[in-house]
């Protein structure tokens, strides 16, 4: 008997993708205080000392700029291969 795995959605996730480096694109409209330059001079979302995205609310694990989130975050699909891989790495799958 095959039991389907639980559905992964952004509302049931523990924000594993918020530990990834997020490159910003020209059309992204992110508050400057949430951005930084990477080692190669590109703009990325800043991360705090804990390694999580600076825009992540640590209490709710929800994005504080969801409506203005970077394009790459909006393109990241809950439950796809990359998402499930990150959840496995963080022991949440």
Domain that holds residue 45: 16-82
Which pTM does this prediction carry?
Answer: 0.72
- The answer to the question of residue 73 being in a domain is yes
Within-domain flag for 1: no
Residue 33 lies in a domain: yes
Distance between CA atoms of residues 46 and 51, nearest Å: 9
How does pLDDT run across 8-64, given as a tens digit for each residue? Answer: 566 556 666 777 889 999 999 999 999 999 999 999 999 999 988 999 888 888 889
H helical segments located in the chain: 71-75, 81-89
How distant, in Å, are the alpha carbons of 4, 5, 14, 40 from that of 74? 26, 24, 16, 24
- Counting the structural domains of the chain, the total is 1
């Amino acid at each position: 008997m095959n039991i389907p795995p639980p559905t992964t959605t952004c509302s049931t996730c523990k924000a594993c993708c918020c530990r990834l480096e997020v490159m910003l694109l020209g059309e992204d409209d992110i508050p400057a205080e949430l951005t930084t330059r990477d080692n190669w001079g590109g703009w990325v979302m800043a991360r705090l000392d804990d390694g999580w995205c600076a825009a992540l609310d640590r209490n709710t694990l929800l994005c504080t700029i969801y409506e203005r989130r970077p394009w790459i975050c909006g393109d990241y699909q809950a439950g796809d291969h990359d998402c499930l891989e990150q959840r496995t790495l963080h022991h949440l799958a």
